[in-house]
Amino acid sequence: MAVRPEAAVGNVAGSSKLGGEANGTAEAKPTEQRDHVVIRFAGDSGDGMQLVGMQFTTESALAGNDIATLPDFPAEIRAPAGTLAGVSGFQLNFSSSEIFTPGDEPDVLVAMNPAGLAANLEDLHPNGVLIVDKDAFSDSNLKRAGYSSNPLTDHSLDKYQLFQIEITRLTALAVHDLGLSNREAFRCRNFYTLGLLSWLYQRPIESTVAWIEGRFKKTPELLDANMRSFRAGYNFGETAEMFVSSYKVGPARIAPGFYRNITGNSATALGFVAAAIKAGRPLFLGSYPITPASEVLHELSGYKNFPVYTFQAEDEIAGVGAAIGAAFGGAIGITTTSGPGLDLKAEAIGLAVKTELPLVITDVQRAGPSTGMPTKPEQADLLTAMYGRHGESPIPIIAAATPSDCFDCAYEAVRIAVKYMTPVILLTDGQLANGAEPWVVPDPDKLAPIKVEFATDPNGFMPYTRDEKTLSRPWAIPGTPGLEHRIGGLSSENLTGNVSYSPANNELMVRLRARKIAGIAREIPPTEIFGDPDGSDLVVLGWGSTFGPIREAVKQLRAKGRKVSQVHLRYLNPLPPDLGEVLHRFKKVMVAELNMGQLLKMVRAEYLIDAIGCNKIQGRPFKVSELTGRIGRALEG
Amino acid sequence: MATALSRKDFVSDQEVRWCPGCGDYAILAQVQKTMPELGIARENIVFISGIGCSSRFPYYMNTYGFHTIHGRAPALATGLKVTRPDLDVWVVTGDGDALSIGGNHFIHVLRRNVDLKILLFNNRIYGLTKGQYSPTSEVGKITKSTPMGSVDFPFNALSLGLGAHSSFVARSIDVEQKHLGEMLKRAHAHRGSAFIEILQNCNIFNDGAFDDVSDKQIKAEHQLILEHGKPLIFGKNRDKGIRMNGMRPEVVKLGGEFTEKDLVVHDETNFPSAFMLANFEAPMPTPLGVFYAVARPTFDGAMNKQLGDAKTKMGAGDIKALLHRGDTWTVN
């Protein structure tokens, strides 16, 4: 999604040259051009499908394509092998033009076993390319996947371009003299498949070669085995009389810049580190492992030298509690979690609201309620973020729209938390967390300043005096002579912070805190309208990871002359000050979100607009086709 | 600077609001008296509490203070101490706060050995909520929520602390001012989690819970003062001692069949012995003092060492280098 359509066609450095044995043979077969290709890799959760997907993504990014990915894996680490429950998938859309989504349906399905085929076949286009590991279609595997007859031979796959390849056998042959066990040899299948697909789509393979060399440096026999498998797959594509041609997806018209490929969880972690550095304070993460947020903890644990403290707490509450304690001491305190953890943290977040300490809570949303579908995305925590605490406890809420946007949003969340002395909730979701896209790496010097000024002057110091403009209270950290004071969850007197049960004072403090949060709206930039700035028939309002599908749907409808626009929110509390006026410019407002209508409720309550909901609660992103259909019907209705 | 401080420097301007006669007053007075003797600048001292009568404590100390939420003080204190090892961080909690709602944080902070001083006021009752049984109340206890007597088997706070391998475990009692002061100083001198159970009388809802060890008339027969390297002797006439009969401890009368040489000599570094003493129940005496104290790496120390090592190895964090990691490419 890093692509600007108006930008000139770029030259991509370091792409195209093939290394090693494969070098120079790529042109032996004809090459067909494709604008974009959607591939889905599917196999057992132990088959290394996520790894293949990520490497293929890196190759594609380095080839200069625009990319969008959708990993889709089970919560079980190793569900029984060969079963539908254990199928792990990775979908990648790579394109020579601007794309916004991982694609509705794959053009190419790679199925490493019958279960991978059974779970994904319904999504494959008729005449789509279907590549299977023929060796995996044994009677027992077929039975486990629920097949009563072998689809490879019963003509049920006749409407697809089926390629049956003996991936298991050919991989074993490639490594037969290395003394590996059958199991070790079997585990090289994913690199064989990656090699094959890399040939088929003319991917630059240097990055994968380097990756294998780095990853298996300490186990030379596995390095050799995976490298051989990778090259064998590549050469098979080239040599075997199976694929008539390979395909080429040229570089996209990409805005000039320095790029890297990034997932949402990585971007979130980097945004926090960058913010802490800009603030000149150590970063402290208190967190309890939870899917799909744990990668932020993993990533941050590698940045100790920055300095970054990562505390893997005994539970969700201790994670947020420790972050509040660190913030009390002057660190940038953050906690990361997913829905169930957000529930558990609610009381502690209320304490941060009351004591007015900076804190960022990241909720990588997943499908609920309760344990729900831990690896699947949803957007049903918005109202929990808004109202999921007892008492009047308003909190700024920011939501990231794309994987790379997680960087900006994490950074912005820290900036607001520190400036306004308040906890801030950052909402991402499982799709953003694991999805990847090219990212123009920002210039650190151009990031917004984050100013931290601790109180130091004992003269007239009181913990609850307020900055005239922001209404934020002083950050007075222990260790400062003369500022000794006590804070706590009990209602406290204005200015002094002393415990107070005065009715009028309580209302004053509640209103002061509410005004402080509402005042953040001053900083929200004017709402951007994609489409008709002066209003037209319908605007689709969204937030979070639905940005891509909505943008693509609106683009497609506009190309057909429909008067449809898009407004996408980053700031959910407070809402942009101009939003009501902007929405009123349109005859119809549709709120598209992966829940039962949570932003919809907020918009109706806030602006008295009879908005229409467009909702999905399947643990899956919107398909573009679903949105175009529903928007189309709303336009007619 | 710190040496010039006195007790009144640690008294805040807030009116103390415990019930008249509450044991908390005595503990507060002793903490305020002991603080100046520790030689720590007032601004570097932080008291963190949870919820309950005892947890009002920070409001009355003229230091930095944080009255947090029920049971979570150890978690907040951990975040503070780890990032601010320069501070002297004290946790004040109660039997409900630490052992019921906060039981998880309590055991984990002890096993990690975060350098915190943890004062658990144990009155074996819920005071702030007006008289329900607590996780240290005895079975059969009649309270507002247990009109037919509690059927809940209680925790032994010290046994639980030792079970979590706390590196310092001690017990004192509100009325023994001198002893309490000594324990506070010992705890402060210990590097790591220092856990003191302070037996504390709630004169409203559980009056007299510790009379056997606090009543001047009888306490000598029930208190066993632990001193490192000294035999376990107690009694008004110091004529009773603890000896091991095989694997079982027993009270013996001195002067006849047994002499001091037959008695157990207290060793603060002996874990099994500490565990045994922590689980003394009547007719055994109630031990007061340091049960267990060993040196063990602190969590905050180890974590800061890792940060220091990382910086030595990789250099100070550079934001540009961070953002430019991984597979990158340039589009012109």
**Does residue B329 belong to the interface with chain A, where contact is any CB pair within 8 Å?**
yes
Measured in angstroms, the CA of B188 and the nearest CA of chain A are apart by: 18
- Token pair listed for A83: 């079963």
**Does residue B279 belong to the interface with chain A, where contact is any CB pair within 8 Å?**
no
According to DSSP, the residues that pair with A44 across neighbouring strands are A87
CA pair distance B167, B110, nearest whole angstrom: 7
Q: Would the pLDDT of A181 be above 50? A: yes
Strand, coil or helix: what is B270? Answer: coil
Q: Which residues of B touch A8 (CB under 8 A)?
A: none
CA pair distance A382, A569, nearest whole angstrom: 12
Measured in angstroms, the CA of A393 and the nearest CA of chain B are apart by: 15
pLDDT at site A28? 65
Q: Are A379 and A595 in contact (CB under 8 A)?
A: yes
According to DSSP, the residues that pair with B117 across neighbouring strands are B90, B194
For B54-92, the DSSP string reads: GGGGGGGBSSEEEE--TT-HHHHHHHHHHH-TTSEEEEE
**Does residue A271 belong to the interface with chain B, where contact is any CB pair within 8 Å?**
no
Strand, coil or helix: what is A229? Answer: helix
Q: Would the pLDDT of A8 be above 50? A: no
Say yes or no for a CB contact (<8 Å) between A478 and B317: no
Using the structure block, give the residue that is written with the tokens 């705890």: B187
**Does residue A361 belong to the interface with chain B, where contact is any CB pair within 8 Å?**
no
**Does residue A14 belong to the interface with chain B, where contact is any CB pair within 8 Å?**
yes
CA pair distance A578, A569, nearest whole angstrom: 12
pLDDT at site A18? 25
Secondary structure letter of residue B203 according to DSSP: T
Give buried/exposed letters for B218-255 (b at 16+ CB in 10 A, else e): ebbebbbbbeeeebbbbbeeeebbbbeeeeebebbebe
Q: Would the pLDDT of A189 be above 90? A: yes
pTM of the complete model: 0.93
> Taking phi first (over 0 means left), then psi (-120 to 50 degrees means alpha), and beta for anything else, what does residue B149 get?
left
Strand, coil or helix: what is B48? Answer: strand
| A1: confidence class by pLDDT, cuts 50, 70, 90 | low
Measured in angstroms, the CA of A345 and the nearest CA of chain B are apart by: 11
CA pair distance B321, A258, nearest whole angstrom: 13
Secondary structure letter of residue B101 according to DSSP: I
**Does residue A340 belong to the interface with chain B, where contact is any CB pair within 8 Å?**
no
- Token pair listed for A190: 């994913």
How far is CA A169 from each of CA A43, A174, A175, A574, rounded to the nearest angstrom? 17, 9, 10, 59
Q: Would the pLDDT of A26 be above 70? A: no
How far is CA B32 from each of CA A619, B5, B7, B200, rounded to the nearest angstrom? 57, 11, 5, 17
Could you say which residues from 310 to 339 on chain A have a Cβ atom under 8 Å away from some Cβ of chain B? Answer: 311, 313-315, 317-319, 321-331, 333
According to DSSP, the residues that pair with A132 across neighbouring strands are A111, A164
Sign (positive/negative) of CA torsion A350, A355, A356, A358?
negative
**Per-residue pLDDT tens over the stretch B106-116:** 999 999 999 99
Q: Would the pLDDT of A5 be above 50? A: no
Q: Would the pLDDT of A612 be above 70? A: yes
Could you say which residues from 61 to 90 on chain B have a Cβ atom under 8 Å away from some Cβ of chain A? Answer: 61-70, 72, 74-84, 86-87
pLDDT at site A241? 80
A203-224 average pLDDT score: 93
Give the number of residues written for chain B.
332
A390-417 average pLDDT score: 98
**Does residue B253 belong to the interface with chain A, where contact is any CB pair within 8 Å?**
no
CA dihedral B142, B148, B153, B159 (to 10 degrees): 0
CA pair distance A274, A254, nearest whole angstrom: 25
For A6-46, the DSSP string reads: TSPPPPBTT-S---GGGTT-GGGS-EEE-SEEEEEEEEETT
Could you say which residues from 19 to 58 on chain A have a Cβ atom under 8 Å away from some Cβ of chain B? Answer: 58
Q: Would the pLDDT of B254 be above 70? A: yes
- Token pair listed for A461: 């110091």
Among A400, A431, A401, smallest CA distance to A413 is for A400
Could you say which residues from 499 to 518 on chain A have a Cβ atom under 8 Å away from some Cβ of chain B? Answer: 499
* CB-side neighbour CA atoms (13 Å) of A621: 34
> Is B208 buried (19+), middle (13-18) or exposed (0-12) by CB count in 10 A?
exposed
Sequence-separated (6 or more) residues with CB below 8 Å from residue B326: A260, A261
- For residue A334, the chain B residue with the least C-alpha distance is B79
CA dihedral B274, B276, B277, B282 (to 10 degrees): 170
**Per-residue pLDDT tens over the stretch B185-197:** 999 999 999 999 9
**Does residue A360 belong to the interface with chain B, where contact is any CB pair within 8 Å?**
no
| A432: confidence class by pLDDT, cuts 50, 70, 90 | very high
A391-411 average pLDDT score: 98
**Does residue B328 belong to the interface with chain A, where contact is any CB pair within 8 Å?**
yes
A118-129 average pLDDT score: 93
Chain B interface disruption, residue of A215, A285, A308, A328, most B CBs within 10 A:
A328
Strand, coil or helix: what is A146? Answer: coil
**Per-residue pLDDT tens over the stretch A614-630:** 999 999 999 999 999 99
Q: Which residues of A touch B310 (CB under 8 A)?
A: 304-305, 307
Secondary structure letter of residue A294 according to DSSP: H
Sequence-separated (6 or more) residues with CB below 8 Å from residue A179: A221
